Structure 1
Amino acid sequence: MSNPLPFPPPAGLPRLDRCAVMGVVNVTPDSFSDGGLWHDPARAIAHGLALRAKGADLVDVGGESTRPGAQRVTEQEELGRVLPVVRELADAGVVVSIDTMRASVAEQAVAAGARLVNDVSGGLADPAMASVIADTGVPFVVMHWRGQSADMDSQAVYGDVVTDVVAELTARMRALLEAGVKEEQLILDPGLGFAKTAEHNWALLGRLAALTELGRPVLVAASRKRFLGTLLANPETRELRPARQRDDATAAVSVLSAQAGAWAVRVHDVAGTADAVRVVAAWQRAARLG
């Protein structure tokens, strides 16, 4: 067990004595593991409420798939998908995160009740994002990103992936601070699966301390991703483990991330991870008392 609790809370979010759990609501027809399941707003809202009941501390609502090869949707389509869901969940008392690369979507979602903006581009996809984050004052997830999903695999070239990701995230933080965003708003995400091979992902997880040492909360989003499917592939056929059968592996990553000092983990199957991070916190408390 490494970093002591409590974790530093991002601005405007509740303080917890353990790693937080962020549940995922994809209001999309084409997300990699659950595309189409929650595309209908009423079903998405019900799913978000169910995630909270199962132990989610935050619910991340997204209206645009960022799976490898995905094409972008229009701004109006994205707004139409997410705003009704954000509004209803926020009105029900759910702590809502909006997963978007568009400043306009972020701004309108925050006005509808979202309390955190999760931008997989770290503000690079839309130059207006930094000013929206500065003006609203909400926490902002700065993910490591090198390009749009349609061609991001070609960007997976590094010297040392951990050193390079830390340097690039540090540069993004500096740019955001210069644009008026406050340091206490920033949350870091290593961007597992985004312009990363399986080996890159494991290196970043194994050396997560390099990110936590930057002094900002860290979000780990490994849930159901391809590198877990590769690890769990059928040994004879090499067929990848299907995405919805990777939840036990995801929970294991959640445990190890919590031990390594992650502020939060972003997962599709909330119940197992919610139990797991509570076990980690109890273990850490007992270790400190002993």
Structure 2
Amino acid sequence: MEVIQTIQELRSQLSPRREQGRTIGFVPTMGYLHEGHRSLLERAREQSDVVVLSIFVNPLQFGPTEDFSRYPRDTQRDLAIADAAGADLVFLPSVAEMYPTHPPRTTVTVNGPVTSILDAVSRPGHFDGVATVVSKLFHIVEPDFAYFGMKDAQQVAVIRQMVDDLNFRVTIVPCPTVREEDGLAKSSRNVYLSAEERAQAVVLSQALRLAQDYVNNSKDAIDIAGLKQLIASHIRTAPLAVIDYAEAVTFPGFEPVDSWSPNGGSDLIVALAVKFGATRLIDNTIIPRKV
């Protein structure tokens, strides 16, 4: 495994491999790798000839009150995990390498319902930062496949829309959320949780299971207001939980609806963002329509 810090060097490493007809799989991350990231690398290893991992804590996707400076970082641990999971190249650029002019003079904005609700409201400018850095990374790496975890389902939808709208030659591969044994979604931010916060955070996955059961047991169209009330009520059984949002919208369109039928035209995503102390966690489940 090779560690590369400059765009020029990464391109020089990838060009001959691409000319040999080898496929390139790409896993973009902000580091502090966990089992979710490992699963993305392993999926890339299965499908691609060359696996590229990037580790870059992107300042553009953090708001002024968010945790850029304290976002967890452990480069040596990350490199050990990447090596064990089969990465060939690790791109580890500095902020100056990625953004010679900071803030950058050119950014990417994805419009439409997908960037009008949920995290787009709670974190203004966040998805502009995501779209900008992922666009840059796609141009630098030029991957055939790019792998993203569905814990960040809205992010996946934003990136897929950007890829479609701007004609990137890359296939986006969404991968399942990896969870702890008690159901909590793996996240780099879990390290911030106190023992009490960590114990209470399981209400997120419990609420999502309640949503699945509510839909499965309903014979008629689902009343979305009732579904949201059900999951919010369960989350509030955790004394430390402060709900940012608990929503149910169409997927992948992220359009609000008053009711939903499994016989309709779109899947449904139940999406949560909840704070435990200073730590904001997100999670979701997608309820598919009947084919």
TM-score w.r.t. the length of structure 1 is 0.28
Q: Relative contact order (C-alpha < 8 Å, sep 6+): which is higher?
A: 1
Indicate the structure with greater strand content. Answer: 2
Q: Which has the larger radius of gyration?
A: 2
